[in-house]
Each structure stands twice: as structure tokens, then as C-alpha cells.
Chain A
Amino acid sequence: MEIANNKKKILSLLALTFGIIPIVIAIMELILIGVEAVAEDVSILFFTSPGDAVFESSALDHVMKAFVNFLIGGIFLHGYQKVKEGNPDGFSFFIGGGILLLGIGFLFIMIWGANLIDTAISGFVEPEVWGEYIFTDGIRIEWFLGVGAISVLSIWKNKEQYLTQVQKF
């Protein structure tokens, strides 16, 4: 099996795009740790407020987000490299990365929904809280789900167009 010549360009472009964007996000997450540390008391990275017993670590949050994005970006970039060579593994990495994105997208949707319900149960109804949930988190979900859905569903569905079977002699 090989990647079809007429699909190499589009597949490699998509893989490169889906690879670079998460890497940029990951780097930004790491930079944010430094920015927060400089702009505020360093302990804000580990505590909700300096000296507080509640250890809600924004640093840990940034590191985890960076890890997730680096991993997904890495998978797509590895896929890009292989696609360029015409190696069918590139196709596998592209679809695999897309499935991971889909999984994470669904996870965020579930968390998002659970947060909304929890907020409602707690009787918390300030519009800005709801706005934050609906717009900030919603956009993140759309990104993950959108990319995942495009890469997995459409390309997997038309896999015969992307892969050619090599005649064995």
C-alpha cells in the first residue's frame, strides 16, 4: 500500500497544519507559566492566591495542556514526514492523531456539560460565568472536535482515494 500521488499534497498540508497548531499552543502554554510568574507572585502558579491552602496549580494546568498539545502535534508532524515519503504509516498517524483529537473533544464536551449542570445545581446563575462556559470552553471544544472530525471521518471514509494498493509480483 502507498499514499496516492494526487493526495500526497493535501494530506501533507493538513498533517503539517494540524501538527504545527498544537505545537504553537503547547509553546504558548509553557510561555504562560513564565508570564504569570513575572506578572504576579510566583506562588500564583501553585496556589489560588499567595499563601492560600488551596493548591490550584495553574502551572500544572499549563504543563498538562502543553503535554497534550505536544503529543498530538508530534503525532501529526510524524505523520506529515511519512506522508511526504509516501509511506502509508503517515496515513495511520494522521487518522490516529485525529481519533485522539476526537476523544479529547468528547472529553471536553462531557466536562463542559457536567460543569454546566453542577453550576445549575449549585444555584450559580451569574451571566459572566455562563458566558465563560459557553464561549471560552465551547471554542476549545469546537477546535478539537472540528479538527478530529474532519481528519478522521472524511479521510477515513474515502481511504481508497488516499491509499493505492501496490501490485505484488
Chain B
Amino acid sequence: MLKSLALIGNPNVGKTAIFNELTGQTGHVANWPGVTVEKKMAKWIIFQVIDLPGVYSLSPSAIDELIARNFIINEKPNIIIDILDATNLERNLYLAFLLKELEVPIIFVLNLMDVADSRNIDINIDKLSELLGAPVIPTVAIKGKGIEEVKSLIKKAIVDKKIAIKKNFKVTYSKEIEDNINQTIELLKINSPNFLPDRRRWVAIKLLEGDKEVSNELSSADGGLIVIEKVKRIAGESIEFDLAGERYDKIGEIVKETYKRDKNILTISDILDKVFLNKYAGIPIFFLIMWAMFEFTFRVSAPLGSLIEVGLGSLGDLIAGSWPADAWYTSFVIDGLIGGFGAVLGFVPLIFMLYLVLSFLEDSGYLARAAFVMDRAMNKIGLHGRSFVSMILGFGCNIPAVMSCRAIENEEDRLTTILVNQNISCGARLPVYVLLGGYVWGASAGTIILLLYILGIAVAILMALFFRKVIFRKSESSPFILELGDYRMPTLKYTGIHMWERGREFIKKAGLIIFTVVVIMWVLLNLGIDPSGIYWGAEPEYSLLAGVGKSLQPLFQPLNWSWIAVAGIVFGFLAKEVVVAMFGLIILGTEEAAGLGAAVVQALPNIPIADSSVPFLVFGYLVFILLYTPCVAHLGAVYKETGSVKWTIVSASYGIVLGYAFALLINLIGGVYF
């Protein structure tokens, strides 16, 4: 049977990097608090290694902290590795103390030693180990330094049993608090002897602190209610604060003995933060970086996209020239696979470039700063800054972004953030923007795409305001604490892994969902209905696919969208990449199509409009794509996280209403009807 090894630590200390180094996995590593939303597991020799969420303490009020605590109590891991940030020892030791109180076997890993060195931080590791009563190993996990020592120690302790890892280290408090703890332990022994007998001291401390989770569990145990009642009389009003205060006093003593820092060192992080977090320059710099991101994504991926297009075009010509023209399989390969599926494949380099830049910004530590900068602006209108952290995750994909809202303690803030995240433009929408925008706006497309992203952020902020003030009638915003780690030069290895992890999801989705939908759409495009029944080989205009678009087209008549545009929206519910595939399928199948972007733009209006109004119609269409439901899987995530059909329906419907209203307004401004 596998033994269990749990990794724990504050957010952004390098847990996932150590997890990857130990297990050879390629989990997502980022210079960004909260990468580990759920616990991750992988095998290493005889161990099941568990990467727990990053936590500052083990209080039951935050879901991620509760997950970590319950795992340690219920699963009883054979060994725990607590990863400490060498640049911020004092804060990290608080969690170490809480773990020590749980009396579990711990090894401490002192990570980010390279950053500590650059800051002239000197740590007496032997003394720290002695004071903590556990081994302490220095590492630079992202470069693999010190990992062999960690592995060797774990093997010696658990596999070879050559050394013993103490677990009975006790945090000793003042006499008054110790008396209270001992009295509570006695009460537990007498009244609830079977309640966590091996952790009585910890239970006593939690009861004195007024921990609701422990009290609830104890209340259902034999004699538990008696203990709870008596503890209430023992514990003073301030004992929770006294306990925390004494822990910090002891931590202060340890830090004083083991940690020396040259405060006059000016690091690159200090310098960049002066500029990037500046009250006036912070937000413009954020927009400058966003603009640079889209310029890079859009322009640098262009040659790779062209190569794929040229390759697919040549393949199509080859097949068209050698296979029978009227055979169904020729149509399937040329129209369905090359036209539909190939249209999506052409955007793979674009998606990878976007993820490369996002990974670079994340790993460098800038995205955490972006959240900080935006928090200041959001707080002014009473919004919770943690929401913006989830929003930024949404640039990659809205589904993990919705899941990351679990870390938000306040229920209304959490719900608000889940509901507004869909307005943040995910990577899947980018191919649609580029396909249409690339043709309509040419060299200015990068800037127009940036405008779409900014519009998404603005709508998300305004909708958050609406939900908070109108629906939940909340005016106060809860405090937002975001740890800003040092800037780091992203490593090629981890940025590459990170980009690949995200890009792989896109390819998997393209290979499974989009391929399946393309096949279904191809069948629908070839099936037609006439009075004699369903027949094969219908013209696109009279196909079942056209029927889907045409049946809903009257609803979009005020927007002057053709049935092709409407069908794109309908199938876009499944996944946004499908919109591009559908255009490729319908339009590349027609002979007059010279270039996909140009042909789609020509096909969008229902009634012909002036050329000068075309950009407005297209922009309105793209805004609708931006604002309505990202995909079915996103709705599933909203349902899973809210547990409510009502909020799932709200999420789906308000996006459609907003998208429709915006598109109508843009059409009016652009004179689409005049």
C-alpha cells in the first residue's frame, strides 16, 4: 500500500514546483498565489504525493484551509513537507506552528533560497532546525536545487527508517493558557474519551479558540456538548487573540535567532513595484502590457498560422485533384475536416502564443500586481479585489477561473465573482476575433481586440457592482489581502510547461469536442428537407444547419444578422472555437470564398449594408461573442460552484441580454440601418 506524503505551505512558496520535481509531473507552476485550487496527487516511489492548496493558517473559515486541515486530520499522512519562503520566514512560521500543534511528522523545506541570497538574507539553518524540532532543507525548487536532499531525507525517514522524524514537538504557551489547555484536555478525557484521542491537545486549543468546525464535530460525539459548555466558561473573551499573540512572540524569538536581513538592499522587485504599482502609472502600464500581449499574440503567430493555412490548402487541392469530386468522403475531408476542423487548427499557434505570454506574465509575478493595481480601482466602487484575481485567470479559460472563486470566503462576493467571470474573454474566443477582426481591421486588429478585452473587464466590473448593490444590496467590501512575491525571470522550462498545459487543453478540446461537433455540423449541412422527406446532398442554403440558423434568425432581425451569423452563435454555445469551424465548413464549401475572414464578413449581414457600416456590424457581433455564455462547460462549472439552477440561468440569460443590447447599440451608432 502506498504511503502518503502531503505538501503544504503558504501560497506562492513553490509547492507545485516541489511537487513536480518530486513526482516528475508537470503541474502548473506560477508566481501567483493560489495556483493549487484543489489538492493534486501523483505517485513517487512508495508515496502518494498530495499537493494541498496554499494556505496561511488552518482556520475553518476559508474553504481551501479547511480542505488542507481536514486532509491532515482525516487522512493522517505519513509525512508532511511544509514549504517555507526563505524571504518571508516570519509569516510562514505561523502555519508551521499550527502544523506542529497537530503533532504530525514534518520536514521543513526552506525554498526560494536564491531570492533570499539576492536580498542578502542570512538564515542559520541548523539553529532553525533545532528550534523547530524538525529537519530544515534549503532549496531552489524551480531550478531543482536541494530536491535530492529532500528525497534522500524522506527515503531515510520513511523507507529505510534510518532516522526518526519527531512529531511530539509542542508549542508551549504561557502558564495561564497552558492551564486552560490542560483543563480542557481533562474534560475531553472524562466526557468524550473517544473524540480524536491522539490529538487532544490540538482539539483543546481549537475549542478554546472557538473553532466552529471542531465544536460542531464534538457536539455530535458522546459527551461533547458538556465539554463545549464547560470550555465556554474556561475560555476568556480574548483567548483566541492571546494564543495568536503568543505564537507570534515565539516566532519572533526564532526569527531573531536565525534570520538576518540587510534592509538597505535595493532589489529589482522594489524598483519595478515603485513604477508598476504607482498610483497614477499602474493602470496605464497594465493597459500597455495588455496591448503588447495582443500585438505579440496576433502578429507573431501570423506566420505560423499562414504555414498551417498553406499546408491545409495544398492538402485540399491534392485531395480535390485525385479523389472523386462527388464522393461523400471527398466532401467530408475537404469541407468537413479541412474547411471546418482545419479552420480551427489554423488558430492553434495563436492560442499557444496567447498562453505563452500569459504564462510569462504569471510566472514573472506581474499578473499578481495587475490584480493589486485593479483592486485599488475596484475598491473605490465597493468591489472585492479578490474577484479580479479570478477574472485574470479567466483570460486563459473561464472554467478554472470560476472554480478559483472557492477561495473567496464571503458567499455574496463569491457568487458575484462567479457570475461576472464570463465577461472576461477566454482564449477560445480569440480565434473568432482574429478571423473577423484580422480582415476588417487589418494592422489595427490587435488594438481592436484589446478594446474587446477591456470592454469585457469593464462589463464584468459594472455587473459586479450591479449584483452587489442591487441584487445583494451590499455596500461594504471585505478586505483583500494579496501576497506579492518577488518578480522572477520565468524559466524556459516552466513557462513552456505552463503554456503546453493550457494549450494541450485547447488541442484536446479541438480533438474531441470540436471534431465531434464539426462532424455533426457537416452532416446537418448535407442533409436537407423537402416534401418527400430528408435527403442527402442539400445546398448549404437549404440544409438542416441553415434551418437551425433560419428558425432563430427572426429573433436577431433587429441586429441584421444572417442565418450564418445566427447559426454561429447557436453552435458557439457548445464551444467558441466551433464558431470558426462552422464558418469554415459553410463558407469554404462555397466556390466564391476567396479568404475565410473576408467571406465571413460578407456573409454576416442579413440585408446588405454600406461598406462603411460593416466594421460596426462586425464589432457588434464580436461583442455578442464576448458577452454571451462562453460554453456549455462553463455553465456546468457555474452550476457546480453555485449549486443553484437559478444562478445558472441568471448567468446564461444576462449574458445574452447584454450582448444583444450592446450589439444593437453598436449597430445604431454605426448606421447599420440607415
Give the one of A1, A55, A71, A104 with max B CB within 10 A: A55
Report how far A96 CA is from B288 CA in the complex, Å: 14
- The answer, yes or no, to whether B500 is at the interface (CB within 8 Å) is no
CB pair B300 A96 closer than 8 Å: no
Beyond A47-B612, A57-B441, A61-B443, is A91–B271 a contact (Cβ under 8 Å)? Answer: yes
Q: How many B residues touch A, CB cutoff 8 Å?
A: 38
Are A100 and B441 in touch, CB under 8 angstroms? Answer: no
- 0/1 per residue, A115-127, Cβ < 8 Å to B? 1011001100000
Asked whether B275 lies within 8 Å of A96 as measured between CB atoms, the reply is yes
Residue among A47, A68, A88, A96 with the highest chain B CB neighbour number at 10 A = A96
- Using CB atoms, name the residue of chain B closest to A71: B284
In the bound complex, do residue B444 and residue A57 qualify as a contact, i.e. CB atoms below 8 Å apart? yes
Q: B residues within 8 A CB of A1?
A: 264, 266
Contacts of B485 in A (CB 8 A): none
Residue of B nearest to A114 (CB): B300
**In the complex, are the beta carbons of B272 and A99 less than 8 A apart?**
yes
A60–B274 CA distance with the chains assembled, in angstroms: 30
Chain B positions 263-300 with a Cβ under 8 Å from a chain A Cβ: 264, 266, 268, 270-272, 274-276, 281, 284-285, 288, 291-292, 295-296, 299-300
Does chain A have a CB within 8 A of B42? no
Q: Per-residue 0/1 for B285-321: is the Cβ within 8 Å of any A Cβ (1 yes, 0 no)?
A: 1001001100110011111001100100000000000
Most chain A CB neighbours (cut-off 10 Å) among B272, B303, B310, B614:
B303
Compute how far the CA of A67 lies from the CA of B289 in the bound complex, rounded to whole angstroms.
12
What B residues does A107 contact at CB under 8 A? 292, 295-296
Whether A149 is near chain B, meaning CB under 8 Å from some CB there, is no
What band does the interface of chain A fall in when counting residues whose beta carbon is under 8 Å from B? 35 or more
Contact with B along A95-109 (1 / 0, CB 8 A): 111011001100100
Asked if A114 and B303 make an inter-chain contact with CB atoms under 8 angstroms apart, the answer reads yes
Residues in chain A near residue B310, CB distance under 8 A: 121
* Cβ-based interface call for A53 (8 A): yes
Instruction: Give CA–CA (A163, B448) in the complex, Å.
Output: 43
Q: How far is the CA of A89 from the CA of B273 in the complex (A)?
A: 11
Q: Is A13 located at the chain interface by the 8 A CB criterion?
A: no
**Is A89 a contact of B442 with CB atoms below 8 Å?**
no
Chain A residues lying within 8 Å of B288, measured Cβ to Cβ, are 67-68, 71, 100
* Residue pair A121, B306 in contact (C-beta under 8 Å): yes
- Nearest residue in B to A91 (C-beta to C-beta)? B271
Nearest CB of A to B389, in Å:
23
Task: Specify the chain A residue showing the minimal Cβ separation from B448.
Answer: A60
Q: Tell me the minimal C-beta distance from A158 to chain B in angstroms.
A: 13
Are B274 and A96 in contact (CB-based, < 8 A)? Answer: yes
- Kindly identify which residue among B271, B440, B441 contacts A92, using a CB–CB cutoff of 8 Å: B271
Counting CB contacts under 8 A, is A153 at the interface?
no
Question: What CA separation (Å) do A56 and B439 show in the bound complex?
Answer: 9
**A110 part of interface (Cβ distance < 8 Å):** yes
Q: Is the CB of B63 closer than 8 A to any CB of chain A?
A: no
B 574-615 to A, binary, CB cutoff 8 A, 1 in contact else 0: 000000000000000000000000000100000000011011
Task: Give the complex CA separation of A48 and B614 in angstroms.
Answer: 14
- Give chain B residues whose Cβ lies under 8 Å from the Cβ of A57: 441, 444, 447
- A53-93 contacts to B (CB < 8 Å): 53-57, 60-61, 64, 67-68, 71, 74-75, 78, 88-89, 91-93
Check A96 against B276 for contact (C-beta < 8 Å).
Answer: yes
Q: How many A-B residue pairs have CB under 8 A?
A: 106
Given contacts A60-B444, A61-B447, contact A51 B611 (CB under 8 A): yes
Whole-angstrom distance between the alpha carbons of A97 and B275 in the complex? Answer: 8
- In the bound complex, what is the Cα–Cα distance between A91 and B272 (angstroms)? 11
Residues on A with C-beta less than 8 A from B264 are: 1, 165
- In angstroms, Cα B446 to Cα A115, docked, is 14
In whole angstroms, what is the CA distance A159 to B291 when docked? 31
Among B266, B291, B307, point to the contact of A88 (Cβ < 8 A). B266
Whether A53 pairs with B303 at a CB distance below 8 angstroms is no
Instruction: Bits for A147-169, please: 1 = Cβ < 8 Å to B, else 0.
Output: 00000000010010001010000
Bound-state CA distance A53–B303 (Å) is 24
Residue A134 at the chain B interface, CB threshold 8 Å = no
Taken together as a complex, chains A and B put the C-alpha atoms of A3 and B241 apart, in Å, by 44
Name B271's contact: one of A95, A113, A117 (CB within 8 Å).
Answer: A95
Q: Which residue in A56, A88, A110, A114 is a CB contact (below 8 Å) of B442?
A: A56
Complex contact B274–A92 (CB within 8 A) = yes
CA distance A56 to B615 in the complex (A): 10
Please report the C-alpha to C-alpha distance between residue A43 and residue B275 in the assembled complex, in whole angstroms. Answer: 38
In the complex, what residues of A have CB within 8 A of residue B440's CB?
A: 53-55
A75: contacting residue among B266, B281, B303, B448, CB under 8 A: B281
* Cβ–Cβ contact A111 & B295, under 8 A: yes
B530 → chain A, closest Cβ, in Å?
36
Assess the A111–B296 pair: CB atoms within 8 A: yes
In Å, the complex CA distance between A8 and B105 comes to 56
B184-243 residues at the A interface, CB under 8 angstroms: none
- How far is the CB of B308 from the nearest CB of chain A, in Å? 11
Residue of B nearest to A55 (CB): B615
Residues of B within 8 A of A95 (CB): 268, 271
Q: Is A40 an interface residue (CB 8 A)?
A: no
User: Is there an interface contact between A74 and B447, defined as CB atoms closer than 8 Å?
Assistant: no
CB distance from A76 to the nearest CB of B (A): 11
Chain A contact residues, CB within 8 Å of chain B: 1, 43, 47-48, 51-57, 60-61, 64, 67-68, 71, 74-75, 78, 88-89, 91-93, 95-97, 99-100, 103-104, 107, 110-111, 113-115, 117-118, 121-122, 156, 159, 163, 165
8 further contact pairs, Cβ within 8 A, besides A52-B611, A75-B275: A57-B441, A60-B444, A60-B447, A61-B447, A78-B281, A97-B275, A99-B272, A117-B303
CB within 8 Å of A: which residues of B? 264, 266, 268, 270-272, 274-276, 281, 284-285, 288, 291-292, 295-296, 299-303, 306-307, 310, 439-444, 447-448, 601, 611-612, 614-615
28 intermolecular pairs with C-beta atoms under 8 Å apart: A53-B440, A53-B601, A53-B614, A53-B615, A55-B442, A55-B444, A56-B444, A57-B444, A57-B447, A67-B288, A71-B281, A71-B285, A92-B272, A92-B275, A93-B275, A96-B274, A96-B275, A111-B295, A114-B299, A114-B300, A114-B301, A117-B303, A118-B302, A118-B303, A121-B306, A121-B310, A122-B306, A165-B264
The 4 closest A-B pairs by CB, nearest first: A96-B275, A56-B442, A92-B274, A55-B615
